[in-house]
Chains A and B, each alone.
Chain A
């Protein structure tokens, strides 16, 4: 049992005395509101701290204290502090992580608290990413979609068509391009693409939306897993590139995104599909004179939205159910997500803002470092199919991660992959939906 599951079980057992005692008290009844931030890049931390300082200056009676959290451990940290009645008042997290907390009653439903101008700034598709069982449990404010980061020189030398957001490659074209870019010289080989698949599930599921798939479906009020043709189009293509065409490097299958960058800079891979925020590392680490370009992901022909839809799990700001100052916490969130502030936060983290006005911010609307590509695909981003599905973390860790890894490495075939994902997966989901 993974630590997360184990901790959840322990939390359930331990919550009884806490409830009986009824003396947990409300955190933050006095003193500053606590804001748990997961900002981790220098610029992003600076912007967050500057905004907190600005808020404190303007609102001396409702001060906010910046508390640094970490992506790696935020779930365990929050679960423990929720159980102990010591949760931060304002919580920065990912929509993907909110499901269990919302169902557990740890997070406040923001619907009665949301100011109208904030509500209207963010599109309906974005609000859906934080909607769980009819309630809204976070303000989605930053996206990290998948893009293709490519070696401009190799692309131009090969003579392939340069895709644009208006006219992206189809998945078929992408396969052809990868073949065109793959070269063998003696023992060395330049691959067309490098898929980093250390954590294969999110990107495998999110990219299925481009071919009209979803993997997770709602049937008679319950979440079920299917793995039909629309769902396996992209995984099958990746499998083909690695194992048949050999246009994708096998060695990167076990790597995280950062690990593929040295090979990318050395010209070993022409294209790396990475999250939008990885541009910061590319820009920082690329050798002098290395030219790179940010391209949209390929589109599935004949799928909804022109095949350009992509599932995302945005970063969110939530309010703890335990806090007695929900309105003040919401006011702070509204301040942080004001269009100009949201744009600053997006710029600091190299991410795409969710707000309509923030997307028009001149600082972000530049072709430099691929910003314009990310901003233009913003309207194609949809709630990841995994959002709001109870049992998804367990399915991901116990079933889907090893199954996808085996499939991409060529150890199992498509039928075995489907059996594992669907049969084992639905058993797990059923347990959460009794």
Chain B
């Protein structure tokens, strides 16, 4: 029995390792490509590690395009979009879960439907609306779009987390004299930490990676985001400046990874914090 369970455990780990390798492959290949010389990039014998590691691709990428500026723009847009989306979604999700009504149900249905709209369906009307608000070519306009675009899914995610918080805890808080707002801030929010972290991550990464809205709405080179700048390394008929493209793509990936690394501990540690009532 012990041997069998040991074998099963080993099999699980092996499957996990295989899965991680599968997931990590593109990133590792990206890192390797970014440090290869142009000659090595043109070699038919592709190697895992660059034979003669070089920073030439990074120098070229930074020299050709305003990468630092675009990274800052992406950071501003993604952070603001994530923060505002969650700030609106938390009370909205709470109300929709705790105060069930026909309107709430309809709103939930609409959230699902809204997720089915492709970007291209809304881009031209959206362009006209933002133009009338003088928000074309503005990071504020882009944040607004991302908030609206992220909000339905953020709301949908948070509803599940709010539903998981026992109503009895809130009743106990009410007996102790807490008002609705205090209950939300002191009782519900700590229990929602993993949900908040997950939603912030989702909103941040969605805004960080988004390309089409950013492409259409931002015209000035100094305002363009990282995802738009990356396409500038690709030419006609699929020709690509592979080294600088890989270097720039790696630079575009790092902030997301860093953000995940910082927040993932909160995702776990916050799961049941504050749930035990003495």
Residues on A facing B (Cβ under 8 Å):
3, 6-7, 10-11, 14-15, 17-18, 24, 34, 38, 40-42, 45, 65-68, 70-73, 76-77, 80-81, 83-86, 88, 94, 144, 198-199, 202, 256-258, 261-263, 265-266, 268, 275, 277-278, 281, 284-288
Tell me which of B43, B65, B120, B136 contacts A3 (CB under 8 A): B120
Beta-carbon contact of A94 and B42 below 8 Å: no
Provide the residues of chain B in CB contact with A14, threshold 8 Å.
124-125, 128
Beta-carbon contact of A258 and B238 below 8 Å: yes
Complex CA–CA separation, A7 to B224 (angstroms): 22
Complex CA–CA separation, A76 to B234 (angstroms): 16
Beta-carbon contact of A285 and B238 below 8 Å: no
Beta-carbon contact of B120 and A94 below 8 Å: no
Q: Taking the nearest CB of chain A, how far is it from the CB of B227, in angstroms? A: 11
Q: Which residue of B lies closest to A281 (CB)?
A: B239
Beta-carbon contact of B39 and A286 below 8 Å: yes
Tell me which of B212, B215, B237 contacts A275 (CB under 8 A): B237
Q: Taking the nearest CB of chain A, how far is it from the CB of B204, in angstroms? A: 23
Q: How many A-B residue pairs have CB under 8 A?
A: 134
Complex CA–CA separation, A261 to B236 (angstroms): 17
Tell me which of B121, B219, B241 contacts A41 (CB under 8 A): B241
Residues on B facing A (Cβ under 8 Å):
38-39, 41-46, 60, 63-65, 118, 120-121, 123-125, 127-128, 131, 136, 211-212, 215-216, 219-221, 224, 228, 231-242
Complex CA–CA separation, A265 to B40 (angstroms): 11
Provide the residues of chain A in CB contact with B131, threshold 8 Å.
24, 84-86
Interface centre among A7, A17, A65 (most CB of B within 10 A): A7
Tell me which of A68, A76, A257, A284 contacts B238 (CB under 8 A): A257
Q: Which residue of B lies closest to A40 (CB)?
A: B235
Provide the residues of chain B in CB contact with A7, threshold 8 Å.
120, 123-124
Beta-carbon contact of B60 and A42 below 8 Å: yes
Instruction: Report whether over half of chain B's contact residues are helix, strand or loop; otherwise say mixed.
Output: helix
Complex CA–CA separation, A3 to B124 (angstroms): 13
Beta-carbon contact of A40 and B241 below 8 Å: yes
Beta-carbon contact of B39 and A287 below 8 Å: yes
Complex CA–CA separation, A86 to B43 (angstroms): 44
A-B contact pairs, 8 of them (CB 8 A): A18-B128, A38-B236, A67-B221, A70-B215, A70-B228, A73-B211, A258-B238, A275-B236
Given contacts A256-B237, A275-B237, A277-B235, contact A88 B242 (CB under 8 A): no
Complex CA–CA separation, A202 to B238 (angstroms): 13
Beta-carbon contact of A277 and B120 below 8 Å: no
Given contacts A199-B237, A277-B235, A284-B38, contact A265 B43 (CB under 8 A): yes
Q: Taking the nearest CB of chain A, how far is it from the CB of B38, in angstroms? A: 5
Provide the residues of chain A in CB contact with B44, threshold 8 Å.
262-263, 265-266, 268
Beta-carbon contact of A67 and B237 below 8 Å: no
Complex CA–CA separation, A287 to B41 (angstroms): 10
Beta-carbon contact of A77 and B38 below 8 Å: no
Provide the residues of chain A in CB contact with B224, threshold 8 Å.
68
Beta-carbon contact of A257 and B237 below 8 Å: yes
Beta-carbon contact of A256 and B42 below 8 Å: no
Given A6-B120, A73-B211, 18 more pairs with CB closer than 8 A: A3-B120, A14-B124, A68-B221, A70-B232, A71-B234, A72-B231, A76-B215, A76-B216, A84-B127, A86-B219, A256-B237, A258-B238, A258-B239, A262-B46, A265-B42, A275-B236, A281-B239, A287-B42
Complex CA–CA separation, A84 to B136 (angstroms): 10
Beta-carbon contact of A198 and B235 below 8 Å: no
Provide the residues of chain B in CB contact with A71, threshold 8 Å.
234-236
Beta-carbon contact of B215 and A73 below 8 Å: yes
Tell me which of A40, A268, A275 contacts B232 (CB under 8 A): A40
Beta-carbon contact of B219 and A67 below 8 Å: yes
Q: Which residue of B lies closest to A4 (CB)?
A: B120
Given contacts A14-B124, A84-B127, A85-B131, contact A144 B215 (CB under 8 A): no
Complex CA–CA separation, A268 to B44 (angstroms): 9
Tell me which of B118, B216, B242 contacts A77 (CB under 8 A): B216
Beta-carbon contact of B238 and A199 below 8 Å: yes
Q: Taking the nearest CB of chain B, how far is it from the CB of A210, in angstroms? A: 19
Beta-carbon contact of A17 and B231 below 8 Å: no
Provide the residues of chain B in CB contact with A45, threshold 8 Å.
64
Complex CA–CA separation, A261 to B124 (angstroms): 40
Provide the residues of chain A in CB contact with B39, threshold 8 Å.
285-288
Provide the residues of chain A in CB contact with B238, threshold 8 Å.
198-199, 256-258
Q: Taking the nearest CB of chain A, how far is it from the CB of B68, in angstroms? A: 15
Complex CA–CA separation, A42 to B242 (angstroms): 13
Given contacts A67-B220, A266-B43, contact A73 B231 (CB under 8 A): yes
Q: Which residue of A lies closest to B124 (CB)?
A: A14
Provide the residues of chain A in CB contact with B128, threshold 8 Å.
14, 17-18, 83-84
Beta-carbon contact of B127 and A40 below 8 Å: no
